[in-house]
Every structure is written in C-alpha cells, then in structure tokens.
Amino acid sequence: MRVLLVEDHDMVASGLRAMLDAENDMHVGAWVRTGAEAIATYAEAGFDCVIMDYGLPDITGTQATTEIRARDPEACVLLVTGHEASEAVLAEALDAGCAGFVSKERSITELANAIRAATHGAAVFPANLLASVARRGRADASGTSSLTAREREVLDLLAQGRSTDEIQQHLLLSQHTVRNHVRNVLNKLGARTKLEAVVMAARSGLVDLSPDR
C-alpha cells in the first residue's frame, strides 16, 4: 500500500515514516508538510491512503481532505490528531469525507492496522466519540425505509468497523455483491462515505454505536 504522509513536524514525520516503512505491506511513497503540498502531491500520483495531520501550517487537515476528495471522491484519508480529537474535529472529519481518524497517542501497530482497515473499505473511528457526534446531530429518516434487510445487515457490520473483505466473509457473499450493497446503502441514505452512512444510521436508530456493543 502506497501511503502519503502529511505532517509538518520533522521528528514526528521521520518516526512515522520509518515505522510504517518497516511494515511488510506498506510504503510511505511521499511525505509533505502542508495542505497545499498534500493536494498537489496526491494529484500527481495516486495513493492507497493519506495519513493527514489535522494541524498544518497553511490549512487544516480537514480542509485539505475536502480538496483532495473533490478531485478524487474515492480518496482514502485518515485524519491523525495529536490528542484524542474533540467532537468538533470529528464532525469536521465527517463533513470532509475522511475514512476515519486516529490519535497520535495510539501505537504504530494501531495506526498500521487502521491504514489496512481503511484501504480495505472499513470506517475507522473511536466508537465512543463517534457515538457522541451522532447524538448531537439531527436524525434524518429519509432513505432508511427503502433499505433492504441485507443492506441493513451490511450497514450494521460497517458500524462494527468491518472491512469489505470481513463483510464478504461474514455474509458469505462475493466482493462484488458486498460493494453493490454498500453503494446502494450510500445512495439511499445520501451519504458520501461509509463513515457518514454509519453516523446517519445511528441518528435514525438503525445501528448502535455504543462502545460496549
């Protein structure tokens, strides 16, 4: 997996790059320090995942994510913060279309696993904070009634943080069928990302985001 690392602190970036490159299934293909560089570098060469710092010198990581996804709606961006993100930051990440968010306080193993999960179609998030964000928003039931039983099942597995491969194995379906179900869920809910679909479903009471579920 080719990773684009967006981090303005040299010491942090050097450590992250070395540790991610040590993983046998990923490589940091480029490291940039600003949001503008991230947007330009991603446009020049596609990456499997972008590790995006929130606090950049020019713009926020969520603003950079919005620009990247405007050019490539399939871009996989993980927002990384220097501490446990506030609800406001998580809401920004949701609006920007991030695939998930990870704290820098987590281990490199957790970050690497988050990259793997996100690139394989999972929504990566701290369940307790995402549940709090979902509770603050207004429920929108439009589209939920048209979901089939199978689509609701897929949506619930997404809310559990399952990847496309894991959903395929759990439901004994082909990857193509799972992707079609996910696409239908997004279309019916009017969601841009799996993460947004999970939050919308939680607000409508379709899924449970309780951390101890």
How does pLDDT run across 137-193, given as a tens digit for each residue? 555 656 677 899 999 999 999 988 888 889 999 999 998 999 999 999 999 998 888
Query: What CATH number does domain 2-119 carry, 3.40.50.2000, 3.40.50.2300, 3.10.129.10, 3.20.20.100?
Result: 3.40.50.2300
* Tokens at 164, concatenated: 């496309």
For residue 132, what pLDDT is reported? 67
Q: What residue spans in the chain does CATH classification 3.40.50.2300 cover?
A: 2-119
Q: What residue spans in the chain does CATH classification 1.10.10.10 cover?
A: 140-203
Contact 125, 101 (CB under 8 A): yes
Residue 141: other Cβ atoms inside 10 A: 11
* Tokens at 98, concatenated: 């991030």
pLDDT band per the 50, 70, 90 thresholds, residue 84: low
- Its pTM stands at 0.79
For residue 143, what pLDDT is reported? 64
- CA gap 26, 20 in Å, rounded: 7
What is the helix (H) or strand (E) element at residue 49, kind and residue range?
strand 49-53
Contact 31, 5 (CB under 8 A): yes
For residue 100, what pLDDT is reported? 86
Average pLDDT over residues 60-87: 87
Contact 164, 179 (CB under 8 A): yes
Was domain 140-203 assigned CATH 1.10.10.10? yes
DSSP output for 136-193: HSPP--TTGGG--HHHHHHHHHHHTT--HHHHHHHHT--HHHHHHHHHHHHHHHT-SS
What's the whole-number average pLDDT of the chain? 87
Does residue 211 surpass a pLDDT of 60?
A: no
Burial class (CB in 10 A: 0-12, 13-18, 19+), 76: buried
For residue 1, what pLDDT is reported? 93
**Per-residue pLDDT reduced to its tens digit, 94-125:** 889 999 888 877 888 989 999 999 998 888 87
**Per-residue pLDDT reduced to its tens digit, 2-49:** 999 999 999 999 999 999 999 999 999 999 999 999 999 999 988 999
For residue 161, what pLDDT is reported? 84
